[in-house]
Amino acid sequence: MNDFPRWRYWLVAVVMLFGVVYALPNAYLSIPGVQVTANRGAAPVDDALRQKVAAALATAKIPSSGVEIDGDHLLATFADADTQRRAAEALQTDLGDGYTVTFKPKSTVPRWLQLIGARAMPLGLDLQGGVHFVMQVDQKEAIEKQEASYADDIRINLRDKNLRYQSVTHKPSGGITVVLRSAEDRNTAANIIANQNPDLNVADGPSTGDRFILNVVIKPEKVRDMSLNAIRQNLGTLRNRINALGVSEPLIQQQGDSHIVVELAGVQDPAEAKKLIGATATLQYRPGIGQPGDARAVEAARTGSIPPDANLYYMRDTRQPVLVSKQIIVTGNQLVDASSGIDQQTGTPKVDVTLNAAGAKRMADFTNANVGKPMAVVYVERVVETKIVDGKEVRTAKITESVINDASIASPFSKQFQTTGLASPKEASELALLLKGGSLAAPMDIVEERVIGPSLGADNISKGLDAVLLGLALVLAAAAIYYKLFGVVADIALFFNLVILVAVMSLIGVTLTMPGIAGIVLTLGMAIDANVLICERIREELRNGSSPHAAIRAGYEKAWSTILDANVTHLIAALALTTMGTGAIKGFGVTLLIGILTSLFTSVTLTHAFTAAIHGHRKLKTLSV
C-alpha cells in the first residue's frame, strides 16, 4: 500500500528539476579573456579601438577567438591562459597609459540560463588566482585631516559669537594656532573653543603687541581613538567599494595596529586592483570667491599672491584659475548616498548626492544665507605613484585638487542635490561609487603585493574534483553492495544531493574554495548516514515480523527523530563556523551548512519517494535491503 502523498512526488520532482537547471551553468567553462577599459582623457571604446586591438594582436602573432565591444569596455578572448597573458602584455605596451588592460574570463553560460538567474559558482582566490595586498594606513594624515576640520569649526564658532580674530592656522607639525587682538578676546575665545570642542586642549601662547596666541591641540585619548577609528573606517570603506563592484568573497581584515590585508579572487592585474582599493577621491563643497578666470583669480595665478582666506584652484575642463574659500561647507564624509546619471536639461553627466543630517543642516544654512553667490565643488584625488629609484621601488602620494563646478546658488537646498561638471558618464559612475563606498579616513600605501597565478587554481580544481569523484564513487559502491536495491536508491539520492547542493550554492553566489570542496566531500560522507539508519531500521522491523510495507513505513518514521537530532548538532556547528569564522573557515562552514539542509531532504524525502514509487503498488514478500 502506497501511503506517500502525491504532493510530495511533485515536490521531489520540482526540487530535482531545480537542482539540474541551476547546477548546469557550472558545466560551462569560461573562456580566458582580456578586458580593455579607457582611462580618463583617453579616446572612448569604439570600433576604431576594436580594430586597433585586433591589429596589435595580429602584429604580435597572438591568435584570438574574438574581439568585441561589451558596454563601455572591449573584450578579447583566447584559447588558453598562456595566450591570455601574452595578449595582455602586448596590448598594455601597444595602448599605453591611456587604457587599462585586465584579465577577465568570458562566460559561456547560455543566454536562457542567465535569464532565469542561473550562474556558475564564483571561484575563490585559491582556485582561480588573484591578488594579495598588505596596506599600511597613514594614521598621522588622518589626525592632520581632523585638525584641519577642527580649525574650520573654530573659525565658524568664533564668527557665530561675533568675536574678531586675526587668523586660525592649522600647523602641519600638529596643533592649531589662533591669533587674537587682545588678552580679553583670547580668554573669551578659549572658553568658546573649550565649550564647543571638549576633545581639544586649549593653552595660552606667547603674546607680542596686538598678537595674543592660543595653542589648541587634540587630547591624547582622542588621538588614540582617531588612530583606531581610521583603521576601522578604512576597513568598512574597502568592503563597501569592493562589494559594490561584485568581487567574489574578498578577504579584508586588519593586521597589527596599522596594516590591512586585502585578497581579491579573480583579479590578475595589480594595477587595476590598486586603482580600486587605494583610490582616495572625494568632493568638497566650498564658498566661491568670484567667477572662474576673473581678474583677481588671474592676478593670483600670475603673481602667486593669494588672499589668506582663499585657495587658488583651476577649473577641471577649461583650466581657468578660480579662487575658492578655505571654508568647507560639507565633504564626502557626510554623504549617505550617491548615484550617477545624465542631467535631462543639459545632457551632461551628473552625480546625485544625499547628505546626512549634519551635512544637510550645514548645506541648508549656507545656501539660505548665500542665494545668488557662487559655491565651488572641489574634486580631491590622491594617487600613489610608484617609481624605481636606485633599483628600489619608491611610492609617493600625489594629491590633485581641481574645481569641477563653480556656479551661483539659484535657490536654497539641503539634503538632496546634484553635482555636474564631470568629464564623462564613466567618471561620474566611478565618483559615485567612491562616494557611496565612503571616504578613506586615512591614506593607505601598499607595502606588499603578490599575484597568485591561475595555474595554481587549475591544479587545485583538478585535485578537488578528483577528491569529490573518488569519495562519491566509494560511497556509492559501498551503499549499493551492502544495501542492494535500497542502496541504489540511496546512491541516486546522494547524486541529487550533490546536484542540489551545487545549485543552491550557485544561486546564492557562494564562492567555491578548497575548504568549500572539503565541505562538499564531508557532506557526501555524512549524507549516507541517514540512509544507513533508515535501512537498518527497516531490517530491524523485518526481523521483528513486520510486513515489507509496514517495515518501510516504520523505518522512515522511527529513523527520522534520530536523523534530525544528529543533523541539528551538525547544523549548530556549521552555523558557528559561518557566523564567527572568516576566510577559509567561513567558506567551509557555509558549504557544510547548505549540505546538511540538502542532505536532510534528499536522504529522507527523496529516497522515500523513490521507494514508494518502486514498492508502493506491489505486494511484497521480502525487500532487497
Please write the tens of the pLDDT for every residue from 42-51: 677 888 888 8
Q: What is the pLDDT of residue 1?
A: 45
Residue 375, classed as helix, strand or coil, is: strand
Residue 155: is its pLDDT beyond 80? Answer: yes
Domain-located, residue 131? no
Q: How far apart are CA 497 and CA 502, in angstroms?
A: 9
Domain's final residue, options 452, 486, 511: 452
One domain for residues 397 and 307: yes
- Number of domains into which the chain is organized: 4
Q: What is the CATH number of the domain that holds 96?
A: 3.30.70.1510
Residue 317: is its pLDDT beyond 80? Answer: no
Q: Which helix (H) or strand (E) holds 381?
A: strand 374-389
One domain for residues 395 and 460: no
One domain for residues 22 and 82: no
Domain-located, residue 624? no
| Residue predicted with more confidence, 172 or 20 | 20
Domain-located, residue 124? no
Q: What is the pLDDT of residue 277?
A: 66
Domain-located, residue 61? yes
One domain for residues 407 and 488: no
- The average pLDDT across 480-489 equals 85
Residue 335: is its pLDDT beyond 60? Answer: yes
Task: Judge contact between 264 and 125, C-beta under 8 A.
Answer: yes
Domain's final residue, options 221, 244, 260: 221
The predicted-structure confidence for 549-590, as pLDDT tens digits, reads as follows 788 888 888 888 888 888 888 888 888 888 877 666 777 888
Looking up cell 593670483 gives 300
Task: Judge contact between 488 and 438, C-beta under 8 A.
Answer: no
One domain for residues 448 and 464: no
DSSP 147-174: HHHHHHHHHHHHHHTT---SEEEE-TTS
Provide the residue range defining the domain that includes 208. 140-221
Residue 514 banded pLDDT, cuts 50, 70, 90? confident
One domain for residues 210 and 316: no
Bridge partners for 339 per DSSP: 352
One domain for residues 295 and 385: yes
Domain-located, residue 37? yes
Domain-located, residue 188? yes
Task: Judge contact between 33 and 266, C-beta under 8 A.
Answer: no
Domain-located, residue 232? no
Domain's final residue, options 175, 192, 221: 221
Domain-located, residue 473? yes
Residue 243: is its pLDDT beyond 80? Answer: no
Residue 16 banded pLDDT, cuts 50, 70, 90? very high
One domain for residues 504 and 415: no
One domain for residues 309 and 399: yes
| Residue predicted with more confidence, 427 or 575 | 575
Residue 456: is its pLDDT beyond 60? Answer: no
Q: What is the pLDDT of residue 439?
A: 60
One domain for residues 345 and 485: no
One domain for residues 202 and 163: yes
Cα 568-480-25 angle, rounded to 5 deg: 65
Lowest mean pLDDT among 101-105, 250-254, 617-621: 617-621
Lowest mean pLDDT among 21-30, 282-291, 446-455, 578-587: 446-455
One domain for residues 17 and 44: no
